């Protein structure tokens, strides 16, 4: 083949195969189904897995298995890992700018602003991991010969319905606070714009985050959320990505085992978040201890 022929010959593009993220691995959907994702103009972008109820159950099993080690890790270590996620995203910034622009029909500048804010959001929550206990816990004044200490503990496995419109900044804003406080998450991506979330799973897998801490499912939100809301081993559910009717149905299903429920509410994702999402999935443990007992030295302890 001549040099001229080599230069003019075209090569077939290598299309990306998007997969689920469960237990630190990248399986295809158990159902074998996929659905088409298009950009804001209706142009095809990719085929993505259509998760089944079995996929949702597998994700809960993975999240429960990861909960003990993750909640038992030091808050400082969790902060280091969240910061590492931000580092990895910074290195793949251009990819996410392109995917967010395609997903939401944004200009490159607006997509870049979302990606930069999402990276900064990981850093912001990384800084809170070893501080939130000092803010919401502490010693309590009580009457009697006791001292009383309250400390926050993670709720457990949290099902998170990602925002439908904010495919990346909103996604990060609902995932980061859940895992920053020691919970594990099963995330249902935006139904119409799942690609940034599925690409985020590749970053999580290479950023020291233990497998199972975050599990990511794509597909029909209502179809995946229903078994998660009713699952007896899911401790809480964030309904951010549900419409009013679906949120009402899921809240009823969640009542069977008294799950914590965070209801949908209008959010400006560019605004600096408060501590509300950090505390939404924390439980308070209070310990009472008698005082006044004399040790060998005669001092009280």
How far apart, in whole angstroms, are the C-alpha atoms of residue 197 and residue 170? Answer: 10
The confidence score (pLDDT) of residue 134 equals: 86
pLDDT of residue 4: 53
pLDDT at 181: 97
**How confident is the model at residue 9, as a pLDDT?**
64
Below-50 pLDDT ranges, the chain = 1, 294-301
Tally the residues of the chain.
301
pTM, rounded to two decimals? 0.89
Pairing of strands 34-38, 44-49: antiparallel
Regarding the domain delimited by 19-37+45-290, which CATH topology (the fold level of the hierarchy) does it fall under? Aldehyde Dehydrogenase; Chain A, domain 1 (3.40.605)
236, 258 Cβ separation under 8 angstroms: no
Structure confidence by residue, pLDDT tens digits, 181-224 = 999 999 999 999 999 999 999 999 999 999 999 999 999 999 99
| pLDDT at residue number 294 | 42
Helix H, strand E, coil C: the string for the chain is: CCHHHHHHCCCCCCCCCCCCEECCECCCCCCCCEEEEECCCCCEEEEEECCCHHHHHHHHHHHHHHHHHHHHCCHHHHHHHHHHHHHHHHHCHHHHHHHHHHHHCCCHHHHHHHHHHHHHHHHHHHHHCCCHHHHHCEEECCCCCEEEEEEEEECCEEEEECCCCCCCHHHHHHHHHHHHCCCEEEEECCCCCCHHHHHHHHHHHCCCCCCCCEEEECCCHHHHHHHHHHCCCCCEEECCCCCHHHHHHHHHHHHHHCCEEECCCCCCCCCCCCCHHHHHCEEEEEEEEECCCECCCCCEC
| Digit-coded pLDDT (tens) for 87-117 | 999 999 999 999 999 999 999 999 999 999 9
**HSE-up of residue 131 (Cα within 13 Å, Cβ side):** 8
The pLDDT value recorded for residue 298 is: 38
């Amino acid at each position: 083949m001549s040099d001229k022929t080599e230069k003019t010959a075209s090569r077939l593009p290598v299309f990306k195969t998007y997969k689920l993220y469960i237990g630190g691995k990248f399986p295809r959907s158990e159902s074998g189904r996929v659905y088409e994702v298009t950009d804001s103009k209706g142009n095809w972008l990719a085929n993505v897995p259509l998760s089944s109820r079995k996929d949702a159950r597998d994700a809960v099993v993975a999240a429960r298995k990861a909960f003990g080690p993750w909640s038992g890790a030091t808050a400082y270590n969790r902060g280091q890992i969240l910061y590492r996620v931000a580092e990895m995203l910074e290195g793949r910034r251009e990819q996410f700018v392109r995917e967010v622009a395609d997903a939401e029909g944004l200009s490159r500048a607006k997509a870049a602003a979302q990606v930069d804010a999402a990276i900064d959001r990981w850093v912001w929550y990384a800084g809170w991991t070893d501080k939130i206990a000092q803010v919401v816990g502490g010693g309590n004044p009580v009457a009697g010969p006791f001292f009383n200490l309250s400390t926050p503990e993670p709720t457990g496995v949290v099902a998170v319905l990602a925002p439908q419109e904010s495919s990346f900044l909103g996604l990060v804003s609902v995932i980061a606070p859940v895992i920053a406080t020691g919970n594990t998450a099963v995330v249902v991506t935006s139904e119409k714009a799942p690609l940034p979330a599925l690409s985020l799973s590749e970053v999580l897998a290479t950023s020291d985050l233990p497998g199972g801490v975050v599990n990511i499912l794509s597909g029909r939100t209502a179809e995946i959320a229903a078994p998660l809301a009713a699952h007896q081993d899911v401790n809480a559910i964030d309904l951010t990505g549900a419409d009013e009717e679906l949120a009402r149905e899921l809240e009823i299903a969640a009542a069977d085992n008294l799950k914590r429920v965070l209801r949908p509410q209008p959010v400006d994702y560019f605004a600096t978040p408060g501590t509300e999402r950090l505390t939404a999935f924390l439980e308070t443990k209070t310990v009472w201890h008698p005082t006044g007992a004399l040790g060998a030295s005669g001092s009280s302890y």
